[in-house]
Amino acid sequence: MSFRPALLLITIVLQMLFFSVNSYGDDQKISVITANTLSKKGEVLLIDIRAESEWEQTGVAPQAVTLSMHQSGGVSAFESALTQLLNGDKNKPIALICAGGVRSAKLQRYLQQRGFSQVLDVVEGMQGGLFTDGWIDHQLPIKTYIKQ
């Protein structure tokens, strides 16, 4: 295989990966810009699900509630804490944000299976990914995390 066909093949594969990851056809995924706007308006509760060490490292969105999915009781402990935070209202709109959108997408599916009806995934996360800019890259507001 010569250089040019190999480069073409690599380009096609990368484009396929990019578009399969970033084709947000459903309304369950939102950008960091949209998450910032909706959470500022009070239309959605923004929940930062990263680990405490990540909050300390990068800071958090000022309007975000910090509720780590990395609790000692696992995802079920997170679900219990979230249910308590929402006063049992599984229909309240929430938006999950992590570092790059992977954990939030997985947790979104889990919560939907558990009866939470309005769970949005902030796809770019705080730090973005290979092809996307995150909250920090978009220079959206950040506050220093203070351990509670």
Task: Specify if 100 maps to a domain.
Answer: yes
SS3 29: strand
Flag whether 114 is in a domain. yes
What total of structural domains would you count in the chain? 1
Is the pLDDT assigned to residue 66 strictly greater than 90? yes
User: Per residue in 108-120, pLDDT tens?
Assistant: 999 999 999 999 9
Q: Is the dihedral of CA 27, 128, 102, 107 positive or negative?
A: negative
Would 55 be classed as within a structural domain? yes
Structure tokens at 59: 């800071």
Q: Decide which of 132 and 2 is more confident.
A: 132
Determine, yes or no, domain membership for 116: yes
pLDDT per residue as tens digits for the range 6-60? 444 454 444 444 433 333 345 699 999 999 999 999 999 999 999 999 999 999 9
In a domain, 16, yes or no: no
Q: What are the Cα distances from residue 143, in Å, to 36, 67, 125, 135?
A: 13, 16, 16, 12
| Residue 54 within a domain | yes
- Boundaries of domain holding 98: 24-148
Indicate whether 135 belongs to any domain.
yes
13 belongs to a structural domain = no
List the CATH number of the domain containing 146: 3.40.250.10
For the chain, give the mean pLDDT.
87
What one-character DSSP code corresponds to residue 30? E
pTM of the model: 0.81
